[in-house]
Structure 1
Amino acid sequence: MKSAVVVFPGLNRERDMVTALEKIGGTPPAVVWHKDTDLPDVDLIVIPGGFSYGDYLRAGAIAARSPMMDIIRDRAEKGVKVLGVCNGFQILTEAGLLPGVLMRNASLKFVCREVKLKIANADTAFTGRYSDGQVIRCPVAHHDGNYFAETDTLKSIEDNGQVVFRYAEGSNPNGSLNDIAGITNAKGNVLGMMPHPENLIEPEHGGEDGRALFAGLLN
């Protein structure tokens, strides 16, 4: 699978993401700067975590208005898979590629720790190597991960099986509605998630619970 990692000013997890994709897939992804005028022909586009533009205005709000996002939106409409992690999730919601918003954590504090994630839908391109109801470990590091959606929108994504990950066993770090940690779009080819699976892919990280997400995609 050919992949690309898109970098905006202020992101700081692009190297982690590049390493995960290369170690698991065997091929280094293209690294694309946000001001580039085109993306290579790839099967997977990844927006990694960090603090694009210093999270000014709202987390992800400025990056979402980059011309690069128009290109990503066009590719997503054509079925290309898009993964946004942490700030990438925020950017995808701000750009309208995913429903809902990510607000300040309920504690109003930055949270950096490991959480438990429950696989809420294993029947997606991103979670096929997991099983429904499986609980995995995954680190989080964010200040604005509190997922919110209007009542009708929330009901729609729940009914459509678009909730893919939930915080489990009382580990919700931010107050997200329904313990939501990750969702897809209606077509299922765009995934946004707050936890960082790229940081738990090998024993040296303390576990490999995040590896299956990438292995399933890349294979």
Structure 2
Amino acid sequence: MAEQVRAVVIAGNGTNCEREVATACRMAGCDVVDIVHIAEFLAGRCRLDDYHFLNLAGGFLDGDDLGSAKAGANRLRHARVAGTENHLIDQVLRFIQDGKLIMGVCNGFQLMVKMGLLPALDGDVHTQRASLTFNDCGRFEDRWVNLKVDPQSPCVYTRGIDKMYLPVRHGEGKFVAESDDLLKAIELRHLAVMKYADPVTGEPTDRYPLNPNGSMNAIAGVCDESGRLFGLMPHPEAYLFRVHHPRWTREQNLPEEGMGLWLYRNAVQFIREDIL
């Protein structure tokens, strides 16, 4: 019997998209999908070692009161697992070293960036070198956006995808790099997986509201150099079915399967072919 693909979605402290993400994992072909509260990991009752695909869902992590996902990043890096001298970050780093997959959406993307897991140039997953900050418009954005995908990106989630149409729901989604040199390195290594795009030209744009937050170089999603760690501000789990599309009653030729599911299908295929 073939080994099962096991996915976990971390819940708690304000995340509220865990059920949608779990549904996406199941639809994509994961054999086991668990929604686990962060407290269960910290209590030592669950271990990341038992899974292949870690999902960091969106929501209002810690209420965004201390900056988007910063408190959550500190919790993962510094909180100890009960009854041990080990920190939860030790499991995360082992998960990465084993070549497994991590995807963060919205607050999950912010969490990965503020932990230093992205963009993680040259494998440095300990140092925060970028951030996601307040939208240039100064308010929460809830709209659908067009995305251009870099075909040369090493990202395993976007293989075979050249464009997407997904919703954003955030107040702090502006991607900023610590320096021009870092931004150039991200571009040179094709780590800017997807960018906000003009629906007419298909090219990246800084123009609001096509770019809803003013991200540097219109960046909407970033991966590390292995392509296994991936974060994005748009919500793929919010477009799994035709009826999720904002014009589903007017566009009769929409496929039954939503574009967001493509990312999860690619992840499961990679796990079956390269990890199991």
Query: Is TM more than 0.5 here?
Result: yes
2:246 matches 1:217: no
2:49 matches 1:33: no
Change (3 A) 1:94 1:123: closer
State the one-letter code of the partner of 1:201: L
Structure 2, unpaired ranges of 5+: 80-87, 120-129, 199-204, 246-253, 270-276
Give 2:111's aligned residue.
91
State the one-letter code of the partner of 1:115: V
Q: Matched residues in 2 for 1:33 and 1:16: separation? A: 15
1:136 to partner: Cα distance:
1.7
2:182 matches 1:153: yes
**Cα pair 2:6 2:30 within 8 Å, conserved:** no
1:135 to partner: Cα distance:
2.4
Give 1:15's aligned residue.
19
Residues 51-70 of structure 1: matches in 2 within 5 Å? 51-66=60-75, 67=79, 68-70=88-90
SS in 2 for 1:82: strand
- 1:149-170 Cα distance to aligned partner (Å, 9 max, x none): 0211111111111111100004
Q: Matched residues in 1 for 2:60 and 2:90: separation? A: 20
Q: Percent of pairs identical after alignment? A: 33
State the one-letter code of the partner of 2:155: T
Q: Matched residues in 1 for 2:154 and 2:228: separation? A: 12
1:214 to partner: Cα distance:
0.9
2:108 matches 1:108: no
1:124 to partner: Cα distance:
2.5
Structure 1 stretches (4+) deviating beyond 3 angstroms? 67-70
Report the more deviating stretch, 20-29 or 87-96: 20-29
Q: Matched residues in 2 for 1:198 and 1:218: separation? A: 15
2:172 matches 1:144: yes
- 1:68-99 Cα distance to aligned partner (Å, 9 max, x none): 34422331233111000000000001111113
Q: CA RMSD in A?
A: 1.6
Q: Matched residues in 1 for 2:96 and 2:37: separation? A: 18
Give 1:194's aligned residue.
233
State the one-letter code of the partner of 2:108: G
- 1:94-132 Cα distance to aligned partner (Å, 9 max, x none): 1111131001000110000100011113543111131xx
SS in 2 for 1:192: strand
Q: Matched residues in 1 for 2:99 and 2:65: separation? A: 31
Larger radius of gyration: 2
SS in 2 for 1:29: strand
- Matched pairs, number: 216
**Cα pair 2:154 2:191 within 8 Å, conserved:** no
Q: Matched residues in 2 for 1:123 and 1:40: separation? A: 24
Structure 1, unpaired ranges of 5+: none
**Cα pair 2:24 2:237 within 8 Å, conserved:** yes
**Cα pair 2:154 2:225 within 8 Å, conserved:** no
